[in-house]
Structure 1
Amino acid sequence: MTRWVTDFCAPAFSFLAGLGIYLSASRGKPKAAVARMLITRGLWLVALELTVLRVAWYFNFDYTLLKAGVIWSLGWSMVALALLVWLPARLVLILGLAMILGHNLLDGLAPADFGRFAGLWTVLHGTGYVPLFGDVRLLVVYPLIPWIGIMAAGYGCGLALKWDQADRQQRVFLIGLAMTIAFVVIRGLNGYGDPHPWATQPDPLFTVLNFLACEKYPVSLSYVLMTMGPALMLLAALDRPNLPTFTRPLDIFGRVPFLFYVLHLPLLHAMAVAWSTWRYGAAPWLFANPPGGNWPHDFHWDLPLTYGAWVTCVLLLYPVCRWFADIKSRRRDWWLSYL
């Protein structure tokens, strides 16, 4: 269940990125300037994923393996949106929803079906290794089609920002509720929407967990409904002029989400190395490319240790994020929009 909670992050982040792009574009910027910003920032994110973040994930400089993860998908989604911003927002919304609703129709197509373009199909709608040049391979974890759809849907939903606040809050909540109900129905039918059917387990709890175990790579329709439905209901609940004081730390992290993401990876990795070195004397498996060398047979993170690492990470990064959020609120340097 702890792992399941983290599933909400990537789709909500991609959707909100699209929403933020609409907000930026609606402030009178020429579309050419918006498109240029999306291309440059998108390619910047892709470059960071393949260089800096790759080191944060694996703690080595063996660039024979490159990872196409969530930041990669955000970057290329921005590049795609640079083309879509020239279209009316309603049309972008329709295209985004079509990609979300229909991409599971492509599940039966394997990369091998595309011959020499197998690698391209893996990048678009598959997962696995793509040979690039020499010994260098790209590990595709976040294929692009559904993620472009989620960001495009977020951009199109920016139209809701024009609604009256009370009306918007009610409508967004109802849309989120409808998506959650749709998830239960579609997943319950065990048909279209996810390539992995759920099954009754001996323990009712494990039946629920099996029901919630939707495909993330690539994200299925059921996965998007399962995560974005509750996310929209939460956004509706937070859509109010005066939020409670206890939500202020969330506001700080929300102002600098990319900085938090970039910093939390090496911090948690370093904590894992420290703990493993203390327990085993060394931790070479935490400096290796996937699948990660020879892990100890008894290696595991129990829940108290997991939550302890999470709380420690948040507490350590909060002052840094607050400092940088203050800088972004006072200055308008061009480079700040890239962090």
Structure 2
Amino acid sequence: MPESEAGAESDPPPIQTDAPRRLDIIDLLRGLVLVLMVLDHTRDYFNKDALAFDPLDLEKTTPVLFFTRWITHLCAPTFVFLSGVSIFLQQARGKTEWRLTGHLLARGLWLVALELTLISFGFNFGYPFFFLQVIFAIGVGMILMAVLHWLPGRSVLIIGIALVAGHGLLGGVKAETLQGTDQVIWRLAMEPGGLGSLPGMIVYPVIPWLGIMCLGYGLGFIFQLEALSRRRAITLLAAGFLGLFLILRLPNLYGDQNPWEWQSNPGLMVLDILNVSKYPPSLDYTLLMLGLAMCLCLTLTHLPRLFQLPLLAFGRTPFLTYLLHIYIVHGGALLLGLVQGIPAAHFANFLGNPGQLAKDGWGISLWQVYVVWLVILCLLYPVSRAYARFRMTHRQWWLSYL
């Protein structure tokens, strides 16, 4: 199905405005990673093994559990990369420098505020507890891009390459060697971990993820190309990312703080090679995940319309879908726990004390997690689809913030 026709039979035509037409190739990719993110968080809150061990631990995991977790590594870098692409496209389509600066500052501050409040509470059901994840990284990245977008696109791309490829060189600096405010600043900028005396943790430090956003901005021109030229450029980009990953990863040259090791069988060796570091995102991780994301760009527009429609609905309403899924997943776990006789209080402060639920024997099997995941997607789809249709026919300023 041609990209311009995806969803045409079910979605109303947009009203005539000066707003730019959305690119289905971007919305489909964003929608897919949202679907995968829902799977990851459903596993986090429902799976009995999630509280017991890391699913990427080769000594304890199974191949299905490993790939259930590993495939969701696509989510964060794709979101952040596409945020950079979106900023480039806004500028390229006529949003003036000062107007774009104001928009990025306002939206970035809005995202940070929501991460500190509604989102952190949704994940933890306890407050205050600041759980700084991908929305925080995108929000701060937008604030910094309010300045960086004044530079030529090539310069921003070079900054992105330097940050993605070079931040690992600072791995020798450890937060525990710093004190007080210096430690918190280093955590926020470079190293995941606790926030000192502040309640909470940062999982997505700003600098490495800003690099990925700069890559998206610097490569955003690819998505302006005519469809055939765009596919060729994305193909070359995917081949470049994946080829460089193999060059660096297979001989353990550079790019990941956890080199792979020889295993007892070839299958485990493949898993170990693929087991790249996300916290913070290593160069190998970024190359592999963005390479796979570009491959998906080439295939998603060929999906049957039946499968494209939910992806487009989620991809056109990314923030609302993201926010809703947190409360549905965590709230659903709480309700199922109540049915099983587990006190609601044990689901509060989930991030601060997950061991309590492990003591309660909470959790379901992995195949049951997949069933719950599909149910949650079915609950999200009509809401996301209705809001996507509303956004297509309305242009109020506040719609860009939700």
- What runs of 5+ residues in structure 1 fail to find an aligned partner? none
Conserved in 2, the CA contact under 8 Å of 1:49 and 1:67?
yes
SS in 1 for 2:313: helix
CA displacement at 1:283 relative to structure 2:
4.7
CA displacement at 1:58 relative to structure 2:
1.0
| 1:70-109 paired onto structure 2 within 5 Å | 70-109=134-173
Aligned CA-pair RMSD: 1.8
CA displacement at 1:244 relative to structure 2:
3.7
1:271 pairs with 2:335? no
Q: Residues 182 and 280 (structure 1 numbering): CA distance in 2 closer, same or farther, change over 3 Å?
A: farther
Q: 2:385 aligns with which of 313, 322, 325?
A: 322
1:46 pairs with 2:112? yes
| 107-116 or 270-279: bigger deviation | 107-116
Q: Distance in 2 between matches of 1:237 and 1:208?
A: 24
- 1:73-112 CA deviation, whole Å, 9 max, x = no partner? 0100101111111011111111111111111111111124
In structure 2, the residue matched to 1:295 is: 357
1:254 pairs with 2:311? no
Q: Distance in 2 between matches of 1:191 and 1:268?
A: 40
- 1:100-140 CA deviation, whole Å, 9 max, x = no partner? 111111111112455451211111110111235xxx33411
* Counterpart residue identity of residue 19, structure 1: V
In structure 2, the residue matched to 1:156 is: 218
In structure 2, the residue matched to 1:199 is: 261
- 1:198-251 CA deviation, whole Å, 9 max, x = no partner? 22333433332222221111111111111100101211334x6x8641212211
Q: Distance in 2 between matches of 1:278 and 1:243?
A: 39
Q: 2:241 aligns with which of 179, 187, 201?
A: 179
In structure 1, the residue matched to 2:367 is: 304
* Counterpart residue identity of residue 251, structure 2: L
After TM superposition, the score normalised by the length of structure 2 is: 0.78
Q: Distance in 2 between matches of 1:190 and 1:276?
A: 44
Q: Distance in 1 between matches of 2:381 and 2:235?
A: 30
Conserved in 2, the CA contact under 8 Å of 1:177 and 1:230?
no
Conserved in 1, the CA contact under 8 Å of 2:120 and 2:132?
no
1:225 pairs with 2:287? yes
SS in 2 for 1:295: helix
Q: Residues 210 and 275 (structure 1 numbering): CA distance in 2 closer, same or farther, change over 3 Å?
A: farther
Conserved in 2, the CA contact under 8 Å of 1:97 and 1:153?
yes
How many matched pairs? 332
In structure 1, the residue matched to 2:72 is: 6
CA displacement at 1:280 relative to structure 2:
4.0
* Counterpart residue identity of residue 284, structure 1: A
Q: Distance in 1 between matches of 2:234 and 2:295?
A: 7
CA displacement at 1:287 relative to structure 2:
0.8
Conserved in 2, the CA contact under 8 Å of 1:57 and 1:269?
yes
Q: Distance in 1 between matches of 2:224 and 2:134?
A: 30
SS in 2 for 1:139: strand
Q: Residues 287 and 196 (structure 1 numbering): CA distance in 2 closer, same or farther, change over 3 Å?
A: same
Q: Distance in 1 between matches of 2:267 and 2:83?
A: 34
Q: Residues 273 and 201 (structure 1 numbering): CA distance in 2 closer, same or farther, change over 3 Å?
A: farther
RCO (CA 8 Å, sep 6+): is it higher in 1 or 2? 2
Q: Distance in 1 between matches of 2:279 and 2:380?
A: 29
Conserved in 2, the CA contact under 8 Å of 1:95 and 1:149?
yes
Q: Distance in 1 between matches of 2:341 and 2:356?
A: 13
- 1:311-331 CA deviation, whole Å, 9 max, x = no partner? 111100100001111111111
SS in 2 for 1:129: strand
Conserved in 1, the CA contact under 8 Å of 2:110 and 2:139?
yes
| 301-310 or 281-290: bigger deviation | 281-290
Conserved in 2, the CA contact under 8 Å of 1:56 and 1:265?
yes
Q: Distance in 2 between matches of 1:226 and 1:290?
A: 31
| 323-332 or 293-302: bigger deviation | 293-302
After TM superposition, the score normalised by the length of structure 1 is: 0.92
In structure 2, the residue matched to 1:122 is: 187
| 260-269 or 103-112: bigger deviation | 103-112
| 168-177 or 255-264: bigger deviation | 168-177
- What runs of 5+ residues in structure 2 fail to find an aligned partner? 1-66
* Counterpart residue identity of residue 274, structure 1: L
